[in-house]
Amino acid sequence: MRYAYFPGCSAESTARDMHESTLAVAKALGIEMVEPKGWTCCGATAGHQTDRVLAASLPAANLIKVKDMGLDMVVNCAACYNRMKMANYEISTDSQIRTSVCDAIGRDYDGSVNVRHFVEVLLKDVGLETIAKTVKHSLKGLKVACYYGCLLVRPPKVMKFDDPENPTSLDKLVKTIGGESIDWSGKVECCGGGLSLTRTDVVVQLTDSILGMAQSAGADCIAVSCPMCQVNLDLRQQDIKKQTGRDYEMPIVYITQLLGLSFGISPDKLGFKKLMVPASNILEKVAQNSNE
Amino acid sequence: MTITIRKTKKSDSLKEIVEQLSGADLSICLQCKKCSGGCPVGKQTLSRPSEIMRRLHLNAGNELLESDIIWTCVSCETCSARCPMGIEVAAIIDALRKLALERKASKQKGNVPLFNKAFLKTVEIFGRTYEIAMIAAYKLGTGKFMSDTEKFPTMLKKGKISLIPSLNGDRKIVRRIFKKTKENKGAKV
């Protein structure tokens, strides 16, 4: 299995932990990840809030590189994944947009590169059986609230990732590695995304509500697959504590970190030290399970 | 609540241009208010998505561009996903953002356009986002120097923020994209 892996800008900053754990998990499963040379920013929320052609052209600059490689593009950042798929959709359904995008990137591009999320590759290409066989330390007894947020599932007609109201992809992975995926109502709620710096008040309210839902459902941690969700839910617990007195101490981990841990990869190689809220409860549970 | 609709000259009406920019058909909205019900920021804003839809349909003019929802919307797309008529409500909000900038509507709390500008400027220069420069530019513009600064030392220590920008991206193609977008009178970046 060989893919063109698009890390996204946050892989070099706020989501180094996501990047490191993604590569470690891929290696353990025999997946070859090749970075497209000279990949650039997808434009993120700022791009599509500013201009439709700019929003499709920035991803297209990367999609055309992957087209030349002749591989499927794999993305783990939910935001980049969303922008790549949206650009493909816009380019292949609107001829005017296609003309403007091709003019902007200086090449013809038809929107045909297959864009896959890493979780989708794990489920469909690798398969749960292989993943189960790779498990060395079970996550038995760990209650995980799987959180999908917005960008993996919406808009459903473009993303086609999973059920948009009750997705289960992450839950399947958690169960396969021995964890308990809990039933809760916050799966596809919004964390406030890109408003983290501009409207911190809104983000604090939204993350407080999500963390509250996970806590009342009995979660030990929340598993995510989006750097913006991770940062907002992890970093804003300090602000929530200051403003409301509620101290969740809820670790927010990437699904790839949980997978890596169950494969017996050292927590340091999976970026566990980079989490703001320490995941010591998870590490203790895994250590306990492997001693039993 | 009461919605006041001013008589607008047809030429000032936003309806047609919003439909053209977003590709959405406003006339099929049923006013079922599912978009407003699912909106995560609806509790914090004075106007909600369904009201915007109605006012657009009734030929609202530039006054609509002052609505707080335009810049409080987090682009979560819940409205579009749940619309029974398949209207791309989020695309309509994107179109209104573009028009609000072009027609110089007043700034809203948080100054999201300034953040977007700072974000895109670092992309234009470096090819990839450069968070420290982006945050500095945004903070300089808003004067909100102190917010979140207490988190920086920990984030730096944990490698969650980079001091140096990444220069491995293909800057040539990114600059070309920004140049072309500006030539086409698209983005105000």
What is the 8-class DSSP label of residue A121? I
Residue B20 sits at the chain A interface (C-beta within 8 Å): no
What is the 8-class DSSP label of residue A195? G
- At the fourth CATH level, the homologous superfamily of domain B11-102 is Alpha-helical ferredoxin (1.10.1060.10)
Residue B115 sits at the chain A interface (C-beta within 8 Å): yes
Interface subset of A 267-286, CB within 8 angstroms of B:
273-274, 276
Residue A123 lies in a domain: no
Q: With beta carbons under 8 A apart, name residues in chain A contacting B153.
A: none
SS3 A3: strand
| Closest chain B C-alpha to A132 CA, distance in angstroms | 31
Size of interface A-B (CB pairs under 8 A): 178
pLDDT, tens digit, 9 for 90 and up, residues B118-175: 999 999 999 999 989 999 899 988 887 777 888 888 988 888 888 889 999 999 999 9
Residue A80 lies in a domain: yes
Q: What pLDDT is recorded for position B107?
A: 83
Q: What pLDDT is recorded for position B3?
A: 66
Range of the domain at A166: 128-291
Residue B13 pLDDT greater than 90, yes or no: no
Q: What pLDDT is recorded for position B8?
A: 63
Q: What pLDDT is recorded for position B7?
A: 63
Interface subset of B 137-166, CB within 8 angstroms of A:
138, 147-148, 151, 154-155, 158-162, 166
Average pLDDT on B81-102 reads 95
Domain ranges of chain B: 11-102, 112-183
B54, two tokens: 């109605």
Residue B12 pLDDT greater than 90, yes or no: no
What string of H, E and C letters represents the secondary structure of chain B?
A: CCCCCCCCCHHHCCHHHHHHHHCCCHHHCCCCCHHHHHCCCCCCCCCCHHHHHHHHHCCCCHHHHHCCHHHHCCCCCHHHHHCCCCCCHHHHHHHHHHHHHHCCCCCCCCCHHHHHHHHHHHHHHHCCCCHHHHHHHHHHHHCCCCCCHHHHHHHHHCCCCCCCCCCCCCHHHHHHHHHHHHHCCCCCC
Q: What pLDDT is recorded for position B184?
A: 81
Residues 6+ apart with CB under 8 A from A92: A98, A110, A111, A112
A39, two tokens: 């990949």
Q: Are residues A167 and A287 in the same domain?
A: yes
Q: Are residues A95 and A145 in the same domain?
A: no
Q: Are residues A134 and A279 in the same domain?
A: yes
B170 with A192: Cβ contact below 8 A? no
> In a mutagenesis test of the B interface, which of A9, A67, A77, A160 is the best target, namely the one with the most B β-carbons within 10 Å?
A9
Please compute Rg for chain A using Cα positions: 19
Residue B113 pLDDT greater than 90, yes or no: yes
Residue B136: closest C-alpha in chain A:
A197
Q: In chain A, how many domains are there?
A: 2
Residue B21: closest C-alpha in chain A:
A52
Q: Are residues A110 and A149 in the same domain?
A: no
| Closest chain B C-alpha to A137 CA, distance in angstroms | 26
Q: With beta carbons under 8 A apart, name residues in chain A contacting B109.
A: 199
Q: Are residues A108 and A186 in the same domain?
A: no
For A209-249, the DSSP string reads HHHHHHHHTT-SEEEES-HHHHHHHHHHHHHHHHHH-----
> Tens-of-pLDDT digits for all 292 residues of chain A?
999 999 999 999 999 999 999 999 999 999 999 999 999 999 999 999 999 999 999 999 999 999 999 999 999 999 999 999 999 999 999 999 999 999 999 999 999 999 999 999 999 999 999 999 999 999 999 999 999 999 999 999 999 999 999 999 999 999 999 999 999 999 999 999 989 999 999 999 999 999 999 999 999 999 999 999 999 999 999 999 999 999 999 999 999 999 999 999 999 999 999 999 999 999 999 999 888 7
Q: What distance lies between CA B167 and its chain's CA centroid?
A: 28
Residue A195 lies in a domain: yes
- Domain final position from A66, A89, A118: A118
Q: Are residues A133 and A29 in the same domain?
A: no
- Domain final position from A98, A118, A138: A118
Q: What pLDDT is recorded for position A9?
A: 96
CATH classification at residue A160: 3.40.50.11810
CATH classification at residue A41: 1.20.1050.140
pTM value? 0.94
Q: What pLDDT is recorded for position B2?
A: 67
Q: Are residues A110 and A151 in the same domain?
A: no
Q: CA-CA distance, B54 to B60, in Å (whole number)?
A: 9
Residue B187 pLDDT greater than 90, yes or no: no
Q: What pLDDT is recorded for position B6?
A: 64
Please compute Rg for chain B using Cα positions: 19
Residue A134 lies in a domain: yes
